[in-house]
Structure 1
Amino acid sequence: MQTHILGFPRIGKKRELKQALESFWNGDLSAQALTETSKELKKKHWHIQKSAGLDYVTTGDFSLYDQMLDTTLMLGVIPQRFQGCNKDSPLELYFSLARGHAGRNIAALEMTKWFDTNYHYLVPEIEANGSWMAGTHPVVEDTLLARKLGFLPKPALIGPFTWLTLAKAQKGEHKWSRLNSVANVYANLLSTLSNHCGCIQIDEPVLCTELLPEEARKQFQEVYASLNVACGVTKLMLATYFGPLAQNIKIAASSGCSLLHVDMVRGKGQLEAILSSLPKDMSLSLGVVDGRNIWKTDYSKAVPLIRRAVSALGRERVLLASSCSLLHCPVDVTEETALPEHIKSRMAFAVQKCYELTELCEIAERGNAIALAENVAMLQRTAAHPDICVSAVRKRASSVTPAMFKRHSTYQKRRTAQNWLHLPVLPTTTIGSFPQTETIRKTRLSYKRGEIQETDYIAAIRREIRDCIEKQEKLNLDVLVHGEAERNDMVEYFGQQLGGFCFTQNGWVQSYGSRCVKPPVIYGDVYRKAPMTVDWICYAQSLTQKPVKGMLTGPVTILCWSFVRDDIERSEVCKQIALAIRDEVQELEKAGVRIIQIDEAALREGMPLTAAEAEAYLQWAVEAFRLSSSGVEDATQIHTHMCYSEFNVILSSIAQMDADVISIESSRSGMELLDAFTDFHYPRAVGPGVYDIHSPRIPSVEEIAELLHKALRHIPKEQLWVNPDCGLKTRQWKEAYTALENMVTAAKKVRLTLGTTS
């Protein structure tokens, strides 16, 4: 049996890529130095894979920003608005597409979540009658380098059907008419790569969804026949992941590829169907090591699957692999020195997962009974630790009643009860966070290291809150926020104050570009220890007569943006978190905070990829939000926020959440999302984002006003709020202040056209 992974984290053990990218963008690092940093990271990652005993090292998994963007540039799909960048260097053009160009006032490509993960990809834009000029792909150079250094490379590409499915076509353009031209570019690339490797991985996670249209399904076999021809004697591996193949098993099996990779973690129960459908000339790669979580593999569950496949196909036709790319995992658990042993001993990061594959191969092939017994004993020992199960938490969760999921009154009655707010038409607000300055970061770090006293820390954060409130009053925003200076991350902050959570020192994963997050770890039952936000919000409210929002992260988002225990159902963990957030909501209301925002940015991304599983998920996810938010009086206004996902298909579920106001990302798509709000007749207030906070570009007053006029075609003025796409923590004050100033001015201008100033 051979072993491999589908991809390795690219950020580096010490976030070297993040630091290099941001230094380059700031003008402190040359393009050559950025390239050298990237090359060194690739070499380290290949060495890790080879040292672990893997047969292949994966190339093409490294990207300076996003693999979808790499593919888009290979195909030459560059929107017309970037014509002014044509004479720029390839690297400058690349980052203009990713981040926009402030100097030329060019908006970046739209960004959204990669299937049901927290990774964001850049959405390709297929313009009507657009001409494409094929470019290059970095996988070729990387494969040549890996081979030169003595590694056995396996290039990895995002497949043409996945790329086209996720691309967005302008109205009037039929994107699947481009399939043959896309396939020709892929064929040329595969032909080039085939001269330098024995196996090429082509990722089609779309096959684990129901997104592929019938016309694409009909052409799958023909397109892949041409791609296999282009590979010559080199084997083509069709890689599927993030779920079972289900209705697409026959399509995958008839692709003509030499190998098929299947996800045995998120696609549990599909092995027998796969074995019965697999052609005799196709080998099977089993994704038995979880590429999306940090827990060690349960060998007692993985080994029987491996042995079943071997008995059906023979050892020579079975490969062992990660379920998907390890992009979604931190790099190395040996860097963690502060975790309790009963938690750390259960963990496996990307490096350790490479070694797990080698060990599983030894157990399956050579019957390494000692390794199997050690794994089983370790899992049993850690599961018995008293931190894992808290009887009071279990009892409370089992005592939840139907009444706890409902507000006291309908939205119309609540809206009348909330008239005390005296808000104007098109009320302006922000999503929560404000720029995290160097001073703020140093203050938090000094407090964390014990270098300053708690009283000094509180005084410093209060100065930041005061400054934030003063700036918002000067801007004349209608509903204010405290700015979240005390928070490093919207999930980590709450996890640090909840029971059942622990934290890594270096467990960073990439969210997009240079943005990295360090997800909390949910290892046991979850409960609130004490109030988490009340003091900060109440202090902010004491500084102004305008309403200040209480800012909380919702239970589904805390769940989705954490590494979650795998010994109980995710729905049960989410209910425990919802009860903890419910306690905080009620305490905020009791303290006089009457607008409370519970962010559910991850609601859409957590949704499984098949309709049946999605329906069950949405039911418990919506219930969790309602459990967290429904314990307040009618006069208390509940907000929620969602960003960077395709929400159209779940609008009915969003409506069922029963929030009084929802703010939602929509500026990058030019308010296209709002078509669905019109068709659905969304019944409550909506704040579509008018300012893309992930780009340094500052939108003009006219641009924001135009977006608001577009929004008004879909949403009645009485229901429309005005806000940015997301929180402002990643921006600098000079950008954020001017953009918000333009936003407030635009709202005032549009109010005048509506015949109102209040």
Structure 2
Amino acid sequence: STWALEMTKWFDTNYHYLVPELTPETTFHTGVEWLFEEVAEAQAAGFNPKPVLIGPLTFLFLSKEKSGQSFGRLDLLDQLLPVYGEILARLKKQGVEWVEIDEPILSLDLSPEWRQAFERAYHALNSAGLRILLANYFGPMRDNLLVATKLPVAGLHVDAVRASEELATVIDWLPAHKILSVGIIDGRNIWKASLGAALERLRGLQAKWGDRLWISPSCSLLHVPVSLAAETRLDAEIKNWLAFADEKLAEVSLLKTALNQGRETVAKTFDDNAVALEARHHSKRVHNEKVAARIAALRDEDARRASPFPVRQQAQRARLNLPVYPTTTIGSFPQTPEIRAARAQFKKGALDEAQYRLVMRHEIELAVRKQEALGLDVLVHGEAERNDMVEYFGEQLEGFAFTQNGWVQSYGSRCVKPPIIYGDVSRPAPMTVDWTSYAQSLTAKPMKGMLTGPVTILQWSFVRDDQPRSLTCLQIALAVRDEVLDLEKAGIAIIQIDEPAYREGLPLRKSEWQKYLDWASRAFRVSASGVQDDTQIHTHMCYAEFNDILPAIAAMDADVITIETSRSDMELLRGFAEFNYPNEIGPGVYDIHSPRVPDVAEILRLLKKAAAVVKQENLWVNPDCGLKTRGWPETEVALRNMVEAARQMRQSEPIVPR
């Protein structure tokens, strides 16, 4: 057996890839027979395909050195290039004329060493005799642009949506005999393009490039759903503002026709497009005066707790009376077949609302009783009623729309169906108070209220493009704030606001990080800061590299942060310790992504490692993440071992009272 490869986000998208692990001894082979078969299939159907390959430099840059190996990934370039050469030679033999080679790392901060490697690589690839279209997307190339325009390739693709400001420079620098592919249609979002505005931009380019101008989406369309045709229940007004992959390809085709044959040949479609955009711009469903007034009225103190953390900590300890090394879970418990069946029957109408609520109450009581029997200190209601941590809230917020079949690939065969944020966001009614209050009524122990944070809701949705993302995030934060205050009014003493996507929102360029971190941490504080000192705010973050954003995490000022650390063997905690993270922290003591059950000794070892770098009075004991995907048998055994490990820690360590 072997360890699974790490999986991470593809740049700043919600698509994931497996991270290749490299050693100095790594050898490369073609291994893409499927590509040649697909090319042959397309040719047999009468098409002239343009195969797409991830570039050799992007492949190496996004790989990682295998643990314990000290060498430069770039050292392997000379071994990798001949394999690319073999692939290109085989494609040429098949009669392929053009190959697109994607190098999206050109949108990243690159060292001179990596930048210089491009010339060496593309001189080698150019010798294959195929016409290469070098493609970049997801952002401007900036200091990498000159390199990209001077490479020995037949054409260059640029992202004219996210790097529109660079088009003028590209025109100046790219040799006039090369193809210029302009990604004028947004491949990342689901809104109709302004065809009129796009046509004007393309006409200016056509004057210089003529038939060497290509029109394209900005990037691959795997980031958007396939077709609006499958959306038979989507609100007609909102549907008229959208374009999925099929519709985006139609937009590309319309722009081509308008350029080559004149706008008048497609005038009605262009006019209809302009009417739809104007309707969206003025729609009362998009703009809510009450939300705008709340945003305008926000004060600095609305993003700040009333007292500093040490004062709050004492108030919370007096109210909660928890032991040292308090035990809890992250929020969700197993979504059993019974829960899923009840939800499906409710959606089909086979269960009415009263019947559905009875089933969910039964599941919540089951989760509470199991937690009490296990001896956990802080309980959760288990989230039986929730389908998805973003969709559940979006369905109850104004400004959100949902599709029937708007699936996009997350990784492998796993797809997600992101909500669409089309307008100003507000909360018309409480979303979780009833379920959480019911759960609290079943136990004398503290019950955590469980909410998804504003940054995560933003990151995992298709977001409106007519205002800054920071403003949309702030609107969501106010909606979450309303829910937090209602939970507090209902007597809930601990409220968790999950932000697993907090780091995912970072821009590709480090120079832009601080601006994002400032508005993201402010949005979180707005959502959390209305409560009294003795109400404890938790947040949770998934596995990530936190060290370079620790000041921003501290700026969120959550009373307790729980993080996924077991896979790093608690190494992630060192950064928190060196930073002198001021608040309480719950490092995950076992990995929930596998059915494997850790024994007491294993958890105890991790707890001791954590206690060596975090003050024991600030340390919580919890799993890495929610337990939604696990089964009850392994969940109960693992949690029983976790509670026992915490008990042994209390007995074996000199205890500082909480």
TM-score range, shorter chain: over 0.9
Residues 1:307 and 2:203 aligned together:
yes
Q: State the AA in 1 paired with 2:516.
A: Y
- Equivalents in 2 of 1:140, 1:694: separation in Å? 36
Contact kept? 1:342, 1:385, Cα under 8 Å? no
Greater shift after overlay, 706-715 or 492-501? 706-715
- Equivalents in 2 of 1:649, 1:274: separation in Å? 33
Q: State the AA in 1 paired with 2:303.
A: F
Aligned to 1:241: 137
Residues 1:174 and 2:71 aligned together:
yes
- Equivalents in 2 of 1:757, 1:145: separation in Å? 70
Deviation at 1:277, TM superposition (A): 1.8
Contact kept? 2:617, 2:656, Cα under 8 Å? no
Deviation at 1:738, TM superposition (A): 3.5
- Equivalents in 1 of 2:649, 2:134: separation in Å? 52
Contact kept? 2:28, 2:80, Cα under 8 Å? no
Q: 1:751 to 1:324 in 2, by over 3 A?
A: farther
1:719-746 CA deviation, whole Å, 9 max, x = no partner? 3333333222223333433333443344
Aligned to 1:209: 108
- Equivalents in 2 of 1:688, 1:136: separation in Å? 40
Aligned to 1:136: 31
- Equivalents in 2 of 1:614, 1:755: separation in Å? 42
- Indicate the structure (1 or 2) with the bigger Cα radius of gyration: 2
- Equivalents in 1 of 2:604, 2:30: separation in Å? 37
Aligned to 2:536: 637
Deviation at 1:205, TM superposition (A): 1.6
Residues 1:441 and 2:340 aligned together:
yes
Deviation at 1:635, TM superposition (A): 1.2
Aligned to 1:319: 214
Match of 1:561 among 457, 460, 482: 460
SS at match of 2:534: coil
1:316-356 CA deviation, whole Å, 9 max, x = no partner? x2211111211111111111111221100111111211211
Q: State the AA in 2 paired with 1:270.
A: E
Deviation at 1:276, TM superposition (A): 1.4
Aligned to 2:310: 412
Q: 1:189 to 1:605 in 2, by over 3 A?
A: same
Greater shift after overlay, 714-723 or 547-556? 714-723
Q: 1:669 to 1:361 in 2, by over 3 A?
A: farther
Contact kept? 1:146, 1:153, Cα under 8 Å? yes
Pairing of 1:322-333 with structure 2 (within 5 A)? 322-333=217-228
Greater shift after overlay, 304-313 or 618-627? 304-313
Q: 1:252 to 1:716 in 2, by over 3 A?
A: farther
Q: 1:303 to 1:751 in 2, by over 3 A?
A: farther
Q: 1:605 to 1:654 in 2, by over 3 A?
A: same
Aligned to 1:619: 518
Q: 1:725 to 1:473 in 2, by over 3 A?
A: same
Aligned to 2:163: 267
SS at match of 2:279: helix
- Equivalents in 1 of 2:310, 2:620: separation in Å? 17
Q: 1:194 to 1:670 in 2, by over 3 A?
A: farther
Q: State the AA in 1 paired with 2:556.
A: M
Deviation at 1:592, TM superposition (A): 0.8
Greater shift after overlay, 704-713 or 722-731? 704-713
Deviation at 1:304, TM superposition (A): 2.3
SS at match of 2:624: coil
Contact kept? 1:748, 1:757, Cα under 8 Å? no
- Equivalents in 2 of 1:270, 1:525: separation in Å? 31
User: Normalising by the residue count of structure 2, what TM-score does the alignment of the two structures yield?
Assistant: 0.93
Deviation at 1:249, TM superposition (A): 0.4
Contact kept? 2:228, 2:244, Cα under 8 Å? yes
Aligned to 1:605: 504
SS at match of 1:545: coil
Deviation at 1:699, TM superposition (A): 4.1
Aligned to 2:236: 341
Aligned to 2:279: 381
Q: State the AA in 2 paired with 1:300.
A: G
Deviation at 1:700, TM superposition (A): 4.5
Pairing of 1:359-438 with structure 2 (within 5 A)? 359-369=254-264, 370=267, 371-419=269-317, 420-438=319-337
Aligned to 1:75: none
1:667-699 CA deviation, whole Å, 9 max, x = no partner? 344444334323422222222333333344444
Show structure 2 runs of 5+ residues with no match.
none
- Equivalents in 1 of 2:656, 2:315: separation in Å? 22
Deviation at 1:135, TM superposition (A): 6.0
Deviation at 1:541, TM superposition (A): 1.3
- Equivalents in 2 of 1:727, 1:259: separation in Å? 47
Contact kept? 1:363, 1:372, Cα under 8 Å? no
Greater shift after overlay, 730-739 or 621-630? 730-739
SS at match of 2:503: coil
- Equivalents in 2 of 1:635, 1:587: separation in Å? 15
Q: State the AA in 2 paired with 1:226.
A: A
SS at match of 2:370: helix
- Equivalents in 2 of 1:149, 1:735: separation in Å? 51
Aligned to 1:282: 178
Deviation at 1:172, TM superposition (A): 4.7
- Equivalents in 2 of 1:695, 1:194: separation in Å? 45
Pairing of 1:644-663 with structure 2 (within 5 A)? 644-663=543-562
Aligned to 1:164: 60
Contact kept? 1:700, 1:742, Cα under 8 Å? yes
SS at match of 2:423: strand
- Equivalents in 2 of 1:112, 1:606: separation in Å? 13
Q: 1:168 to 1:476 in 2, by over 3 A?
A: farther
Pairing of 1:462-481 with structure 2 (within 5 A)? 462-481=361-380
SS at match of 1:291: coil
Deviation at 1:414, TM superposition (A): 1.4
- Equivalents in 2 of 1:741, 1:125: separation in Å? 36
Deviation at 1:718, TM superposition (A): 3.1
Q: 1:709 to 1:399 in 2, by over 3 A?
A: same
Q: State the AA in 2 paired with 1:190.
A: L
Deviation at 1:271, TM superposition (A): 0.6
Match of 1:183 among 77, 81, 93: 81
Greater shift after overlay, 344-353 or 515-524? 515-524
Aligned to 2:18: 122
Residues 1:738 and 2:634 aligned together:
no
- Equivalents in 1 of 2:343, 2:530: separation in Å? 33
Contact kept? 1:154, 1:200, Cα under 8 Å? yes
Aligned to 1:152: 48
> How well do the aligned residues superpose, as a CA RMSD in angstroms?
2.3
Report how many aligned residue pairs link the two structures.
649
Contact kept? 2:28, 2:79, Cα under 8 Å? no
Aligned to 1:354: 249
User: Normalising by the residue count of structure 1, what TM-score does the alignment of the two structures yield?
Assistant: 0.81
Aligned to 1:667: 566
Q: 1:728 to 1:239 in 2, by over 3 A?
A: farther
Aligned to 2:126: 228
Q: State the AA in 1 paired with 2:57.
A: F
- Equivalents in 2 of 1:744, 1:259: separation in Å? 61
- Equivalents in 2 of 1:515, 1:448: separation in Å? 22
Residues 1:719 and 2:618 aligned together:
yes
1:193-223 CA deviation, whole Å, 9 max, x = no partner? 333322222222221122x333222222112
Match of 2:424 among 525, 532, 539: 525
1:496-534 CA deviation, whole Å, 9 max, x = no partner? 111111111111122233332211111111111001000
Aligned to 2:357: 458
Deviation at 1:285, TM superposition (A): 1.4
- Equivalents in 2 of 1:130, 1:684: separation in Å? 45
1:230-283 CA deviation, whole Å, 9 max, x = no partner? xx2212222211111112101212332222211111223111011112133432
Q: Percent identity?
A: 52
- Equivalents in 1 of 2:541, 2:315: separation in Å? 25
